[in-house]
């Protein structure tokens, strides 16, 4: 049986650029060399695509996965498109976070190239990345969540802080609809700070979502699958702060993981897994996603916070770790599943009639 050509795509213009490279290193080192030929594709912070040589050995340092080019973005992308192995054994594995990577843009490129790729499609990536639209879909599909309201930058003439407070309450969080890693997010504790928080969020997007503060543990559930998704056991963290900004998420050594999260009953555990699947289906997800869900202190209600359509895949990331404790799936086995799901989704899309005779 022929080996599959796996193009691991990582980096990009994102605050999570470095996290993406670490994830790529972990993926590359865990892909089975007996099944796959592995080709790294680095996207630098300017957005230039730089294909590297086929990987034959284990990667020791992330520096081995970076490079430079004098080509423009368009010419570097054209060079990659002219050189990748374009046959039925090729699968793209993007581990790219943020704008252009998780928002459907890159997935649209892959669709145009007619190549199987790991993860969510164009639509599910776009709607999962947009917090406002994702919240609307959760509401339509009766997925439990906190109170929220979405504002458009061009429709703020009649804005009234008192009306917002009546709807959401205080404290609240103000977030750009399309941004990751807590960029542009502000906690708001008093009425006078709402306008400043909105102005800050509008720097990063033309749409902003305001969400009520929910006190309790924020848990994470990994979901994988296409038509029949499965949810992992929940995991959580012990943190010293209510608000996880970028530095806290990635550089705070005081965060203690709870994997699996065991401070809930068997019934609550099964309920949170089903809620994660419901959120996954509401956003039309496929491949994989991570669903973040609050366990509210005052009444133990389970409320979805957000869905991440391309979660981190470092050795310490929740997705691989949770599957290890849920059913013993190893990291290499998880990668096999994700690649198989990508090929399955591709084959089913190709069975759809797209032309009229």
Predicted pLDDT of residue 243: 56
DSSP 90: E
- Look over the chain and give the mean of its residue pLDDT values, rounded to a whole number: 94
Predicted pLDDT of residue 320: 96
Element housing 222 (H / E):
strand 216-225
CATH number for the domain running over 4-117:
3.40.50.20
Place of tokens 């704008």: 99
Q: How many helices (H) and strands (E) does the chain have?
A: 11, 14
- Domain regions of the chain by residue span: 4-117, 147-212, 216-348
For the chain, residues with pLDDT lower than 70 are 181, 240-255, 357
Q: Are 286 and 230 in contact (CB under 8 A)?
A: no
Indicate the angle between helix axes 131-140 and 122-129, nearest 10 degrees: 100
Instruction: At 223, list the tokens.
Output: 């979901």
Q: Can you tell me the distance from the alpha carbon of 197 to that of 190, in angstroms, rounded to the nearest whole number?
A: 11
Task: Check for a shared fold between 4-117 and 216-348.
Answer: no
Element housing 73 (H / E):
helix 73-83
Task: Give 257-326 as a 3 state SS string.
Answer: EECCCCCCCHHHHHHHHHHHHHHHHHCCCCEEEEEEEEEECCCCCEEEEEEECCCCCCCCCHHHHHHHHH
CA 293 to chain centre: 14
Model pTM score: 0.93
Q: Can you tell me the distance from the alpha carbon of 144 to that of 268, in angstroms, rounded to the nearest whole number?
A: 14
pLDDT digits (tens, 9 = 90+) for 32-82: 999 999 999 999 999 999 999 999 999 999 999 999 999 999 999 999 999
How many other CB atoms sit within 10 Å of the CB of residue 68?
Answer: 10
Q: Which fold has domain 216-348?
A: D-amino Acid Aminotransferase; Chain A, domain 1 (3.30.470)
Which listed CATH number (3.40.640.10, 3.30.1490.20, 3.40.50.300, 3.60.70.12) goes with 147-212? 3.30.1490.20
Predicted pLDDT of residue 179: 82
Predicted pLDDT of residue 257: 82
Predicted pLDDT of residue 219: 97
């Amino acid at each position: 049986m022929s080996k599959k050509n796996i193009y691991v795509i990582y980096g990009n213009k994102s605050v999570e650029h470095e996290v993406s490279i670490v994830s790529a290193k972990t993926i590359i080192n865990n892909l089975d060399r007996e099944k796959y030929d592995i080709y790294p594709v680095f996207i630098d912070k300017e957005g230039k695509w730089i294909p590297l040589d086929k990987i034959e050995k284990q990667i020791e340092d992330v520096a081995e996965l970076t490079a430079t080019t004098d080509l423009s973005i368009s010419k570097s992308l054209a060079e990659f498109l002219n050189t990748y192995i374009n046959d039925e054994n090729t699968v793209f594995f993007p581990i790219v976070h943020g704008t252009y990577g998780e928002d459907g843009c890159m997935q649209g490129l892959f669709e145009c190239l007619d190549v199987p790729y790991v993860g969510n499609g164009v639509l599910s990536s776009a709607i999962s990345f947009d917090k406002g639209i994702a919240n609307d879909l959760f509401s339509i599909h009766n997925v439990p969540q906190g109170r929220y309201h979405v504002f458009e930058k061009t429709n703020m003439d009649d804005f009234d802080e008192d009306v917002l407070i009546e709807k959401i309450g205080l404290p609240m969080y103000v977030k750009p609809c399309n941004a990751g890693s807590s960029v542009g997010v502000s906690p708001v504790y008093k009425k006078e700070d709402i306008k400043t928080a909105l102005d800050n969020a509008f720097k990063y997007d033309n749409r902003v979502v305001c969400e009520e503060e929910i006190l309790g543990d924020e848990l994470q559930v990994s979901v994988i699958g296409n038509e029949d998704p499965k949810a992992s056991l929940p995991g959580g963290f012990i943190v010293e702060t209510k608000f996880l900004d970028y530095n806290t998420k990635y550089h705070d050594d005081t965060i203690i993981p709870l994997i699996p999260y065991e401070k809930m009953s068997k019934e609550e555990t099964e309920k949170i897994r089903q809620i994660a699947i419901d959120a996954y289906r509401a956003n039309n997800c496929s491949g994989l996603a991570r669903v973040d869900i609050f366990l509210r202190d005052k009444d133990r209600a389970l409320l979805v916070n957000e869905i991440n359509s391309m979660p981190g895949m470092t050795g310490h990331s929740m997705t691989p770790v949770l599957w290890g404790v849920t059913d013993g799936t190893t990291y290499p086995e998880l990668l096999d599943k994700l690649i198989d799901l990508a090929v399955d989704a591709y084959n089913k899309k190709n069975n759809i009639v797209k032309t009229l005779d």
